């Protein structure tokens, strides 16, 4: 295994919710202050702003949406906007 795969596996094994940095607005906890800052700035109490054009999925970060969209493109989906337009045309 390479370093990055091993590190990712190790990071996933960490217990969620056990970090020492807690959000004052919700019950999320983080091991690093930078992750808490990112959460407060971009996530906490906010609706995800990146909408999938194939389904109702919404993502907080553009990169999360891009990963999600790969699932659709591999499966040959048609964008929802195209389907809706075709459905409403007389």
pLDDT digits (tens, 9 = 90+) for 4-30: 555 555 665 566 668 899 999 999 999
Host H or E run for residue 17: none
Mean pLDDT of 73-77: 71
Residue 85 pLDDT greater than 70, yes or no: no
- Domain contains 53: yes
Q: How many domains does the chain have?
A: 2
Of 65, 39, 68, the closest CA to residue 50 belongs to 65
- Domain contains 86: no
Residue 59 pLDDT greater than 90, yes or no: yes
Residue ranges of alpha helices (H) inside the chain are 3-13, 33-38, 62-75, 80-88
User: Do 61 and 27 sit in the same domain of this protein?
Assistant: no
User: Do 38 and 61 sit in the same domain of this protein?
Assistant: no
Between the alpha carbon of residue 72 and those of residues 13, 50, 52, 85, the distances in Å are 29, 15, 10, 19
Between the alpha carbon of residue 78 and those of residues 18, 48, 53, the distances in Å are 41, 22, 9
User: Do 34 and 63 sit in the same domain of this protein?
Assistant: no
pLDDT: which is higher, 17 or 55: 55
- Domain contains 87: no
- Domain contains 2: yes
Residue 17: predicted pLDDT = 61
User: Do 29 and 3 sit in the same domain of this protein?
Assistant: yes
- Boundaries of domain holding 60: 48-78
- Domain contains 54: yes
Residue 87: predicted pLDDT = 47
Residue 39 pLDDT greater than 90, yes or no: yes
């Amino acid at each position: 295994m390479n370093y990055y795969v091993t590190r990712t596996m190790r990071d996933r094994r960490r217990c969620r919710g056990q970090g020492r940095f807690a959000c004052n607005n919700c019950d999320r906890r983080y091991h690093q202050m930078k992750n808490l800052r990112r959460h407060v700035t971009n996530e906490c109490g906010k609706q995800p702003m990146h909408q999938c054009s194939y389904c109702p999925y919404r993502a907080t970060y553009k990169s999360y949406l891009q990963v999600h969209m790969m699932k659709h493109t591999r499966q040959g989906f048609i964008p929802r906007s195209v389907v809706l337009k075709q459905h409403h045309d007389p």
